A = this chain, B = another copy of it.
Amino acid sequence: MPQESLRPPQWPDDRVCSADQKGLVREMLTRIGDKWTTLVITTLARGPLRFSALLGEINGLSHRMLTVTLRALERDGLVTRTVYAEVPPRVEYTLTDLGVTLIAPLGTIVDWVEGHQGQVAASRAEFDA
């Protein structure tokens, strides 16, 4: 088993968050903020999808990264993987109850970005000028 496949970033530095759980919070933020996790969750929020459907819905997402992302979500208990014993094989991914509770908080961030992207873009334009 390759090291990379499934290992979620373990945050080994307890100095960062010695007395509290900021390490875990940041680890989850890292997960939430990583390249594909949020897109996968928000896509699954509209209903269960199979692997190939997810791949089709999310533009630019590679085969391999979808697998990695889904495994991490599954490990965290946010997504359920259901295999149907058919030929050809069919696998459906569904948000768990826990995963569903993440939709709203995620939504506040998405809303913020959508509501302020103009200001951010303007600020960048000025900064880069």
Chain A positions near chain B (C-beta within 8 angstroms) = 8, 13, 15-18, 21-22, 24-26, 28-35, 38-39, 58-60, 74-77, 98, 101-102, 104-106, 108-114, 116-117, 119-124, 127-128
Q: Give min CB distance, A120 to chain B, whole Å.
A: 5
Q: How far is the CA of A24 from the CA of B39 in the complex (A)?
A: 12
Contact A59 B98 (CB under 8 A): no
**Known: A108-B105, A108-B108, A109-B32. Contact between A75 and B25, CB under 8 A?**
no
Copy count, this protein chain: 2
Query: Which of A13, A15, A21, A127 has the most chain B CB atoms inside 10 A of its CB?
Result: A127
Point out the residues of chain B lying under 8 angstroms from A18, CB to CB.
59
Point out the residues of chain B lying under 8 angstroms from A111, CB to CB.
105
Query: Which of A31, A111, A124 has the most chain B CB atoms inside 10 A of its CB?
Result: A124
Point out the residues of chain B lying under 8 angstroms from A33, CB to CB.
29-34
Closest B residue, CB atoms, query A76:
B120
Q: Give min CB distance, A45 to chain B, whole Å.
A: 14
Closest A-B pairs by Cβ, 10 of them = A33-B33, A77-B123, A16-B60, A105-B108, A75-B127, A105-B112, A28-B113, A108-B108, A25-B113, A29-B33
